[in-house]
Amino acid sequence: MANPDFGPTAKEILQRIELGEQATTSSLVVAEVCAWLEYHGIRDKINTFIKALESYPTLKKCETTYEDELKAEELESRYAHLEFFDRVYLAQMLRLKLTEIYSNDRGFDKVTEIKRIFM
């Protein structure tokens, strides 16, 4: 069920990763997608989603930590425009020294430490 606005771009990103681009995703992203699938009554797609993630050898999966969540709370004073989960992603990126994010969320454009990429 591709989003008509973002699906084509997401597909391009996944194709680049399939071709060997190094990328990282968060266990929190995985949980959010699985929750979305359940909420929309397509729980049977979760296994397909997990298998798809595992099929990308250059896609690193990083664990979300409690410390990331604490850091997200600290980041609220600088980035109150970002929702909590987005600040958790930012905290993870800072911890892992990642400087680019694939996101359609323009709120990341105001974050000085990273660059948002979404064609």
Q: What would the mean pLDDT of 41-45 be, rounded to a whole number?
A: 96
Name the CA dihedral angle for 89, 110, 76, 64, rounded to a multiple of 10 degrees: 0
Homologous superfamily of 7-117: 5'-nuclease (3.40.50.1010)
- pLDDT above 70 covers a percentage of the chain that reads 97
The span from the CA of 29 to the CA of 118, in Å, is 17
**pLDDT value at residue 54:** 94
Mean pLDDT (the chain, rounded): 93
**pLDDT value at residue 2:** 60
**37 pLDDT higher than 90:** yes
The span from the CA of 103 to the CA of 112, in Å, is 15
**3 pLDDT higher than 90:** no
Name the CA dihedral angle for 66, 70, 71, 75, rounded to a multiple of 10 degrees: 140
Give the pLDDT confidence of 66-119 residue by residue, as tens digits.
999 999 999 999 999 999 999 999 999 999 999 999 999 999 999 999 999 986
**pLDDT value at residue 1:** 56
H or E element, residue 90: helix 84-96
Residue with the bigger pLDDT between 4 and 77: it is: 77
